Amino acid sequence: MTTNNLLEQGIALPIMEEFYSLQGEGFHTGKAAYFLRIGGCDVGCSFCDTKESWDANRHPLVLVDNVINNILQSSATTVVITGGEPCLYNLSYLCQEVAKHKIVLHLETSGSEKLSGNWNWICFSPKRKTIIQPEFYQKANELKVIVEESIDLLWAEENAEKINKKCELFLQPEWSQRETILPLIVNYILLHPKWKISLQSHKYMRIP
């Protein structure tokens, strides 16, 4: 089977890194999870803390079956698929194989590409100036908006108006601006209590 076929079928994926740690942000903060970071991104946020993930060609193609074996060697009951932008790839095979082991599947995505696979939890983090796939507004369990400047609060509300009613709403300060942005977010949430704050607690704890 050719490399293109492996990618198209999702049998192999460009893996930047995989590790077992604690979820540091959003609704599931503090929970143990196995993280799988897939290379390749079509968004390219200026504040991205994993810019090395953008170029998929920098990362080796790894068979999903090998990834599953690595997951099973940990104590993980949850797997988080992140990037980059993981939805650039067909994730159906990965979801199918992980689910066989009764492991919960979480996806972290900007919503820039169409969804594939079956997920237990979708964290949707849309970015300004990016075309968003409408399906995420119906399927997301968690809306997480990164706040770098005050205009991002308008972007947050614009997305909250479109999101399904069961979705959890989070505002997260961009890490390098956290000292100035945190008070802004705190005051905003006090006035608009439908929102919750998300902090990158793993960075405070200095864990992956």
Lowest mean pLDDT across 52-61, 118-127, 135-144: 52-61
What CATH number does the domain containing 91 carry?
A: 3.20.20.70
Task: Indicate the pTM of the whole model.
Answer: 0.96
Considering the chain, what percentage of its residues have pLDDT values greater than 70? 100
Q: What is the pLDDT of residues 87-98, one digit of tens each?
A: 999 999 999 999
Separation of alpha carbons 148 and 139, rounded Å: 25
Q: What is the pLDDT of residues 8-55, one digit of tens each?
A: 999 999 999 999 999 999 999 999 999 999 999 999 988 888 899 999
Number of domains in the chain: 1
pLDDT category, 1, cuts 50, 70, 90?
Answer: confident
Give the mean model confidence (pLDDT) for residues 4-9: 91
Expressed as residue numbers, the domain containing 130 is 3-205
Average pLDDT, the chain: 96
